[in-house]
Amino acid sequence: MSGKNINIKIYLENGVTFGGSAFGYFKAGVELIGEIAVHTGLTGYQEAITDPAYSGKLLCMTTPLIGSYGINLDDMESDKPHIGALIVRHKSDYPNNWRCEMTLDGYLKQNRILGIEEIDPRALTRIARQVGPLKALISTEELTEYQVSEKLNAYKAENLVEKVTTKQKYVIEGKKGIKSLHIAVLDLGIKNSVLKSLQRRCAKLTVFPADTSVTEIIAEQPDGVLLSSGPGCPDDITYVIQMIAELVHKKPTVGMGLGHLVLAKALGCNVARMKFGHHGGNYPVKSKACGRAYITSQGHDYVVTECSEDVVPSYININDQSIEGIRHRKLQASSVAWSVTGSPGPDTDFIIDDFLRMIEDGRLFYA
């Protein structure tokens, strides 16, 4: 049903409450609980909504007007939206773009996702930056602080990777005449843009579920392995970390997003929760090798805090000096924390080109 003009409240775990109006899909009496993710992108709401890395998140867009160019079927990062709810200042009721196929409101209704407007994203962002990770409860009911606290304390996020990974292995053929490389992709929450970027460059992709064994991957005889981005904490998928710790000695490996964190843990690095994460398309990172800066698209809550003996940082975040990329001194293993294909935001898919050249040349990764 439509939620237009229905008052709804966002109860934060620090005691602050925001009031707004529901749009998209609304069902009376249903309460939602999740973590707030503040996204600073000026555009790209469609890609963020359908990015598996935001599975279950209460996504708050800081740009005041969301939905102004509508929704199209070409820019989906997966086959459905993965967020728990969308929080905006204003939604656009009259999108204007030649590629528009439906409104944001209609898309959320179709996919049973709640939207909330008339919220001040600036105030919510300020709280998130001061307090850190924030759980929130969304309800139409007037709840006491005790009721909210009790419900939030009882909430426990499920294993999100198991929710978004492919259920079975599948093959994507690349374009004819392109490099004859076969890449194994471990799907921790893969984005369509990454698969398309690889498909343009490779002869064949074999995409595996997150719980695939080393034996199953090696049996396909890939030239290299890509660990995809995805949702949640790497410690929730220790079975993947253990598998990669073995696989990295057998095949060239590159990771991005959650794949970066999994590879880091597999190589003995320390990973910790960030205070408020990186979410948006405007994060500057600097290459340790050449000193060049790149603007990147990011969506992660965890960071490598310390490298192990044979691992060195390859990229550093210019804003907060956090480690954004790593490489191994002796193994063909490297990773970056951001989305190399953008979507939304700028792309830096030279990372994929470097990976493929490294496989062909049989050398170590670029620093």
pLDDT recorded at residue 361: 82
Q: 109: which 2 tokens?
A: 């209704």
Q: Look up residue 93 and give its amino acid.
A: D
- The predicted-structure confidence for 21-55, as pLDDT tens digits, reads as follows 999 998 887 789 999 999 998 889 999 999 999 99
* 297: nearest Cα among 53, 8, 18, 29: 53
Over the chain, what is the mean pLDDT?
Answer: 92
Q: For residue 235, count other CB atoms closer than 10 A to its CB.
A: 13
The set of residues, in sequence order, having a beta carbon less than 8 Å from that of 22 and lying 6+ positions away, is 3, 4, 6, 7, 8, 114, 115, 116, 140
CA-CA distance, 222 to 161, in Å (whole number)?
Answer: 23
- The predicted-structure confidence for 113-128, as pLDDT tens digits, reads as follows 999 999 999 999 999 8
* 47: nearest Cα among 351, 284, 317, 339: 339
Q: For residue 245, count other CB atoms closer than 10 A to its CB.
A: 16
The DSSP bridge pattern shows strands 293-306 and 270-287 to be: antiparallel
- The predicted-structure confidence for 163-203, as pLDDT tens digits, reads as follows 999 999 999 998 765 668 999 999 999 999 999 999 988 88
* pLDDT higher than threshold 80 for residue 88: yes
Superfamily classification of domain 161-361 = Class I glutamine amidotransferase (GATase) domain (3.40.50.880)
pLDDT recorded at residue 276: 85
CA-CA distance, 194 to 177, in Å (whole number)?
Answer: 20
Q: For residue 173, count other CB atoms closer than 10 A to its CB.
A: 10
pLDDT recorded at residue 1: 45
CA-CA distance, 228 to 319, in Å (whole number)?
Answer: 25
Domain ranges of the chain: 7-157, 161-361
Task: Name the residue with higher pLDDT: 78 or 180.
Answer: 78
Q: Look up residue 350 and give its amino acid.
A: F
User: For 7-157, CATH number?
Assistant: 3.50.30.20
